């Protein structure tokens, strides 16, 4: 369930009256989602999504509005928030921050085909091309600076082997990312799993759920994508999906020498990032709502596979 705050039609009508988006025809709570309250709202003019923010740092919402506005202006398939007649996007409803978005077409791909992988790689490459010039700032909330203090919190729940694995890994990342050359920077999605994309057949309808969006190493975003989109159940990489995503991405944004060098380590660090965040949800900071947490084991398996088999060769840059 993801309607943590119920809303009446009168409340939604009052919000809509400030926008040029038509009058309310119907509204429906959306079951998917884990953090925020989502409604599909139909007006006599268009299909919308209404999000009420239930948690997180509300003072960071303007960053997400600016980022989505920017990407929308650059014709990326993202839900650019609606602005009211005074130009304001962020409102309050039921005492929660609220945004209205266009409803984008499509469904989450469970087993993406190669055409869908190419579409995702191409769009992420385009996004990273333009996001390097985005002027907003929000430090990556899940990078090495987060891993360093947070991994200590879960060690007590792990077997001795897993404790050693986690500690050794974090120390290794510190040696690589704490001292190496700065990698290309820009705005990231920060959590671009399959369930944060919508596909209408093979067409990418949109990238959604930008609330892990931040600025930092572009390579971090790409590694999250490969670990989720191109991994087999045993944690090993699927070469076809890997190559389809990366070839399309590289045609838009070639990687630097330093990014190619640090790629295997970035795959490991982003796998550990999700192993850790999921362990924290299970053991340290369970959600207030009765939701089934994501399985930490999945990302431990991915990390072990990256350690055992390494990364696959990166395709050459397009010429
Ligand atoms: N702009 C959108 N267009 C279409 N569907 C959307 C849009 N935004 C959200 N959704 C739907 O609502 C669900 C929950 O949204 P999401 O932002 O992922 O919530 P949460 O932050 O709670 O995880 C998504 O899985 C998707 O099905
Ligand atoms: N997609 C993630 C959930 C979001 O990560 P978080 O660190 O913001 O909780 C997952 O699959 O674990």
Domains for the chain: give ranges and CATH numbers: 9-102 (3.30.200.20), 114-309 (3.90.1200.10)
Please give the distance of CA 38 from its chain centroid, rounded to a whole number: 17
Instruction: Report the chain's C-alpha Rg in angstroms.
Output: 20
DSSP 59: G
Return the pLDDT at 250: 98
Q: What are phi and psi of 112, to 5 degrees?
A: -65, 140
Q: How far is the CA of 12 from the centre of ligand 1 (A)?
A: 18
pLDDT confidence of residue 75: 98
**pLDDT value of residue 179:** 85
Output the DSSP codes for 172-237: HHHHHHTTSPPPPEEEE-S---GGGEEEETTEEEEE---TT-EEEEHHHHHHHHHHHHSB-TTS-B
pLDDT computed for residue 2 by the predictor? 75
Distance CA 309, CA 100 (A): 45
C-beta separation of 250 from 125 below 8 A? yes
Distance (Å) of CA 198 to CA 131, 190, 283? 21, 16, 31
Quote the pLDDT of residue 79: 98
Q: Is the CB of 34 under 6 A from ligand 1?
A: yes
Q: Tell me what ipTM this predicted complex has.
A: 0.95
pLDDT at 291: 74
Q: What residue ranges of the chain have pLDDT lower than 50?
A: 1
209 Cα: distance to centroid of ligand 1 (angstroms): 6
Residue 208 and residue 196 in contact, taking contact as beta carbons nearer than 8 Å? yes
Question: 278 CB less than 6 Å from ligand 2?
Answer: yes
Burial letters for 130-145: b for 16+ Cβ neighbours within 10 Å, e otherwise?
A: bbeebebebebebbbe
Ligand nearest to the CA of 54: 1
Distance CA 40, CA 100 (A): 10
Whether residue 210 has its Cβ less than 6 Å from ligand 1: no
Q: Which residues pair with 215 in a beta bridge?
A: 139, 187
In Å, how far are 108, 149, 192, 233 from 302, measured between CA atoms? 21, 22, 16, 9
């Amino acid at each position: 369930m993801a309607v943590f705050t119920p809303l009446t039609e009168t409340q939604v009508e009052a919000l809509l009256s400030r926008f040029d988006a038509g009058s309310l025809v119907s509204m429906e709570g959306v079951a998917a989602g884990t953090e925020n309250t989502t409604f599909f709202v139909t007006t006599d003019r268009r299909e919308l999504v209404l999000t009420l923010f239930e948690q997180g740092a509300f003072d960071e919402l303007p960053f997400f509005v600016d980022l989505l506005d920017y990407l929308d202006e650059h014709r990326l398939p993202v839900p650019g928030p609606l602005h009211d007649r005074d130009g304001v996007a962020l409102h309050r409803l039921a005492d929660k921050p609220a945004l209205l978005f266009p409803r984008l077409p499509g469904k989450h791909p469970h087993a993406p085909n190669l055409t869908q992988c190419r579409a995702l790689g191409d769009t992420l490459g385009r996004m990273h091309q333009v996001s390097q010039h985005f002027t907003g700032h929000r430090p990556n909330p899940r990078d090495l600076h987060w891993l360093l203090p947070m991994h200590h919190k879960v060690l007590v729940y792990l077997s001795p082997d897993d404790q050693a694995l986690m500690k050794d890994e974090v120390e290794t990342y510190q040696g690589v990312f704490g001292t190496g050359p700065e990698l290309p920077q820009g705005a990231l999605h920060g959590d671009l799993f399959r369930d944060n994309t919508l596909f209408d057949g093979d067409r990418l309808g949109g990238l959604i759920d930008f609330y892990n969006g931040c600025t930092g190493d572009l390579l971090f975003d790409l590694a999250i994508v490969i670990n989720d989109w191109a991994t087999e159940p045993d944690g090993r990489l699927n070469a076809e999906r890997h190559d389809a995503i990366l070839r399309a991405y590289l045609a838009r944004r070639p990687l630097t020498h330093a990014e190619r060098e640090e790629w295997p380590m970035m795959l490991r660090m982003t796998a550990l990032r999700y192993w850790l965040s999921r362990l924290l949800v299970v053991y340290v900071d369970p959600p207030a709502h009765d939701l089934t947490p994501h399985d930490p084991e999945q990302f431990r398996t991915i990390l072990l596979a990256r350690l055992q088999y390494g990364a696959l060769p990166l395709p050459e840059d397009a010429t």
